[in-house]
Structure 1
């Protein structure tokens, strides 16, 4: 995967990990600004229909880097396991010696596919060649491959393709088209460190990369998805050399990382879930621990609960969840991966109806969980309510839903639930305890399309009101560019390149009075000023530079008086003079006295 020095949530304006950002390390890596992500609005649905229904896939990172497994010269190398050659500046000859120890005699592709299928995954994407240039297949374009360079001596992709066909699993290929540290002329994100790497990149593309892509599209049957990565030094002319190959597999889906302004079909956020989803097709890829390729000392495993909720979160926003596994050099999955796949599969066996072929939640926010939807041919809608925090009082409030309820039941056991109305919301009477502590799913059928009243934020227990970026209404002046809401747990408003853009929240005030206002901001500039507007009042505050778009510092904005009981609007705007973009996290209004 990608590895450039920044968090996986930030690039340019500190928002998205797009085509050349990464999660970790290497402080001398430089990031170039990227434009706002393109919207993939015109997609051939006959080609992508299966993908939009699948919602869940397995990513596999495997190769020679599993031999050093994060260690070089007796030291742990910070960063991603599959980037060790680059991050430790390992000479080409030294690194290629690792291949002599790569002998995955316990590789069982049928078992891999069966584990993916049991977990509820609908497709697999495997690294046919990562940035070290090592191919997992028999290639005539380069001897730096598993058949010619290892004692194993057999093609690893062919039996996986056969196993996928046998068990009805779709198979996609990751291919590093630009970065290649083992074949002469391939790009290197930080620049070459060994004379053995030097050569013509155009010659590398013509003689290695293009022929290898042709091989993987020719020799293994139908390929569902082609996953490019890190387009270092990819020009329009270089990218154009790959495009005719796609005609070999007309049904194939491609991502947005080829380079040369080629958009592809999928936007690919990495290691985070966009706060409000993305218009068009998108697929978030995530690791189970901190690395993609196997790394012997990375034991920071996400819990099964977190992984299942990530899947739900992604589906609730209309995306696909591509969850990574990093096999050991032997070919086995590490036991923590096996355990997590089994736990996900157990949950999916009961609740997969609420994930597959679903569309995004109609709610801006739910205080107790998430939702997905399915439209019926008769015009009615099924809403799947994924309840994380089970109500202690036996009443599940669905805020703002005004539709007539046709039926309500627990998905796991089919038990019918009583539905009623409370103000402008639906209330369901539910059992005293949840059926599943990770997420209990309620299947709610309503008449027509979901009708949701505007979301109004209420105060926390201490009286404070927290304005989250993901709950904001975003406003753009005609012809201008908008700000974006991005991120997971740490959401932010970013891409705020147009000072005419603004964000607003509706809040319910039960106790009028004076509120202090604070937020967290990030910007490399010191000339910006932001405003908080409530009614006729405006509080302005200058933003001091924080060093970068991903270095956040607390900003006390000031005080504002809210006299009106009931619904009020709070707006975040920019001072249009000398504006420089600022990233803004949550805004907190705290009552005084």
Structure 2
């Protein structure tokens, strides 16, 4: 974990950038949100490449903790008629527990057995690099001594009034070199203003004040929002515009924070990270960093009757599969009413940590990403790190059998070995890669074959400065532009209240970027736009992306074969008709991880 001084220096630098880009949008110290000015761009960096997110991208594995007032019930509620209703963190709503009765039940909550040091140590031993705990779930119960209300662990429980479990976790995670994050639910079943559109602003003021407490008192590395969807029982008035204001607000509190996309409406244009739940996407998520959250059994909160535990093999394979698709794996534990993590969870986490440490197998996960140069196989998964492919094999071939990888670009395999075994590995490279290990699997959970690969050298980094950008203060683009400049790349999320320039109002505008693009590899690239309202992209005067109709946040792709070092004419247009303004241009290729096209590879129009 970086030292405090290094973090402070980076915070100051990013804070200056945020102050420039978010001018007038979020002012720490003020509970009220100040509207953004024209000219605001909420995309303060490229999360795929920024220093701010580097630790998160390298981590790949984190611990989720669902713990709240609902834990007191341990998954069961006995109704007055004697019948039993079962649930976990949603038990108040799903079992229709009257508010007064639920408050009486939670008043007896006493998690005296909560051991922050043991939890952080377990995470560290499991190979988890960060930890996210539910500071406030949908029931609205705060797990820290908030000054905003008395519906919290200090003021409404039997718990020791001198203890603060979030402060204890902060000390413990610092001790073990783990980053701390907080889950915070936007949806709140307890606060009466949270479900009333007429008083929702008052609730949002209290929400912002609680978030200010969390950020200033505990210095989290990330905020994990939830409860952003439109629903009833109780109603949830949250809008995308509310999300814009909240994201701006928390970035004003700490510009280094990593924020998930549930801060808004769970879209590719919200926050830094996408949040698939209880599933692993079949390929890297387009347009956004991503993290899948998953339970070890069937529930997030503790349910004493749920013994449907995933096996250690399944969990290790989920982890390696996620890393091979450039994602993070946030694996949940749910402490019981006394604050103790179930032994079944701890034992599986220890198995995962042992697997990661054994024979260097952690290289297949930590700091690893999508392989790019090969397709994912059916017998396991492949990740890539530092000039090596790591094939995590789940279905080992029989004696004399082989494993096949389908190549996506040119490369050679210069060496191969089975981690944890001295057996010979023969590799044949034709149109595909055929791997023939001479012995059996070296690990029952997943056996890793490490392949040294030699890929073509890239062309030298370009000397570009970006693209020529022209902006019009209306939705069509005839006549002279209102603003002309060179943009270092196309990475804009103006949302509802921002715009390309202070001279241009957010109500509607259009833009055009022109110049040349210079790839560094001879291979097929995917050019990717993230847009809202309308977008078109041309390469050498050929229209390759055409989504020129009013639409919400969308991702569009075009596969283009490029030659390294050659310059290709590029033109991108967008317009904002209504709602939000978004314009991003990314690329990815077998040897280029997904990223905003960097300025060095873009040249302005002459």
The answer on whether the counterparts of 1:40 and 1:265 sit within 8 Å (CA) in structure 2 is no
Alignment match of 2:213 (pick from 215, 235, 240): 215
1:314 corresponds to which of 322, 346, 358: 322
Whole-angstrom distance in 2 between the partners of 1:387 and 1:202: 53
Closer, same or farther in 2 for the Cα pair 1:313/1:438, shift >3 Å?
A: same
TM-superposed deviation, 1:342: 1.4
CA distances 1:18-46 after superposition (whole Å, capped 9, x unpaired): xxxxxxxxxxxxxxxxxxxxx99932611
Structure 2 residue aligned with 1:202: 201
- Distance in structure 2 (CA, Å) of the matches to 1:117 and 1:449: 38
Instruction: State whether residues 375 and 406 of structure 2, in contact with CA within 8 Å, keep that contact through their aligned partners in structure 1.
Output: no
Aligned in 2, Cα 1:297/1:423: closer, same or farther, shift over 3 Å? same
Matched, 1:83 2:90: yes
What displacement does 1:437 show? 2.0
2:99 aligns with one of 81, 84, 92: 92
2:423 and 2:133 map into 1 onto residues whose CA distance is: 43
The question of whether the paired residues in 1 share the 8 Å contact of 2:423 and 2:437 is answered with no
Distance 1:430 1:76, change over 3 A: farther
When structure 1 is superposed on structure 2, of 240-249 and 383-392 the one drifting more is 240-249
SS at match of 1:479: strand
- C-alpha contact 1:119 1:346 (8 A) present in aligned 2: yes
1:372 and 2:383 matched: yes
Task: Identify the match of residue 46 of structure 2 among 33, 42, 47.
Answer: 42
Match of 2:192, SS?
coil
Counterpart CA distance in 2 for 1:267 and 1:321 is: 12
TM-score (normalised: structure 2): 0.63
Is the alpha carbon distance of 1:346 and 1:449 closer, same or farther for their aligned partners in structure 2, counting shifts above 3 Å? farther
Taking structure 1 as reference, are residues 452 and 276 closer, same or farther at Cα in structure 2, changes over 3 Å only?
farther
CA distance, structure 2, for counterparts of residue 205 and residue 420 of structure 1: 60
| Alignment partner of 2:145 out of 124, 138, 141 | 138
The CA distance in 2 between the partners of 1:185 and 1:356, in whole Å, is: 43
The aligned residue for residue 391 of structure 1 is: 397
Verify the 8 A CA contact 1:359 1:373 in the aligned structure 2.
yes
Within 1, Cα distance between the matches of 2:355 and 2:454? 28
Counterpart of 2:546? Answer: 479
Contact 1:385 1:443 in 2 (8 A): yes
Cα distance per residue 1:275-308 (max 9 Å; x no partner): 1220231000001111111112212111111111
Shift of 1:423: 4.2
Query: Shift in Å at residue 75 of structure 1?
Result: 4.0
Rounded Cα–Cα distance in structure 1 between residues aligned with 2:401 and 2:45: 40
Shift of 1:394: 3.4
Asked if 2 retains the 8 angstrom alpha-carbon contact of 1:57 and 1:322, the reply is yes
Partner of 1:281: 289
1:272 aligns with 2:279: yes
Matches within 5 A, 1:23-62: 42-43=46-47, 45-62=50-67
Give the structure 2 partner of residue 409 of structure 1.
417
**1:171 aligns with one of 161, 169, 180:** 180
Classify 1:449/1:315 alpha carbon distance in 2 versus 1 (closer, same or farther; 3 Å): farther
CA distance in 2, matches of 1:102, 1:168: 30
1:204 match: secondary structure: helix
SS of 1:150's equivalent? coil
1:102 aligns with 2:109: yes
* 8 Å CA contact retained: 1:361, 1:370: no
- Check conservation: 2:368, 2:385, Cα contact below 8 A: yes
Q: Helix, strand or coil for the counterpart of 1:77? A: strand
Given the superposition, is the C-alpha separation of residues 216 and 453 from structure 1 closer, same or farther in structure 2, using an over 3 Å criterion?
closer
Identify the match of residue 249 of structure 1 among 251, 254, 264. 254
Cα distance change, pair 374–449 in 1 and its aligned pair in 2 (3 A): farther
- In the alignment, which residue of structure 2 is the partner of 1:226? 223
Q: Could you tell me whether the CA contact under 8 Å between 1:54 and 1:356 is conserved in 2?
A: yes
Cα drift, residue 93 of structure 1: 1.3
Report how far residue 360 of structure 1 moved. 0.4
Q: Write the distance in 2 (CA, Å) between the matches of 1:241 and 1:404.
A: 49
Residue 157 of structure 2 is matched in structure 1 by 150
1:40·1:267 contact (CA, 8 Å) conserved in 2?
A: no
Q: How many positions carry a matched residue from both structures?
A: 412
Contact 2:416 2:427 in 1 (8 A): no
* Deviation, structure 1 residue 419: 2.9
State the partner residue of 2:406: 400
What is the Cα deviation at residue 265 of structure 1?
Answer: 0.2
Q: Which residue of 2 aligns with 1:540?
A: none
Alpha-carbon contact 2:273-2:290 (below 8 Å) kept: yes
Contact 1:217 1:249 in 2 (8 A): yes
The equivalent residue for 1:585 is: none
- Give the superposition deviation at 1:431: 3.4
Unaligned runs of at least 5 residues, structure 1: 1-38, 193-197, 376-380, 455-475, 482-494, 503-593
Q: 2:242 aligns with which of 232, 238, 242?
A: 238
* Residue 548 (structure 1) aligns with: none
Which stretch shows the higher mean deviation, 364-373 or 59-68? 364-373
Residue among 91, 104, 118 paired with 2:125: 118
Spell out the pairing of 1:296-315 with structure 2 (5 A cutoff): 296-315=304-323
| Rounded Cα–Cα distance in structure 2 between residues aligned with 1:155 and 1:394 | 59
- Please, which of 352, 356, 359 is the counterpart of residue 369 of structure 2? 359
The alpha carbon displacement at 1:432 in A equals: 2.5
Which secondary structure state, in structure 1, belongs to the residue aligned with residue 406 of structure 2?
coil
1:344-388 deviation digits (Å, cap 9, x = unpaired): 11111121111111110333231321100014xxxxx20001111
Q: How many angstroms does 1:409 deviate by?
A: 1.2
Q: List, as ranges, runs of 4+ consecutive aligned residues in structure 1 with deviation greater than 6 Å.
A: 450-454
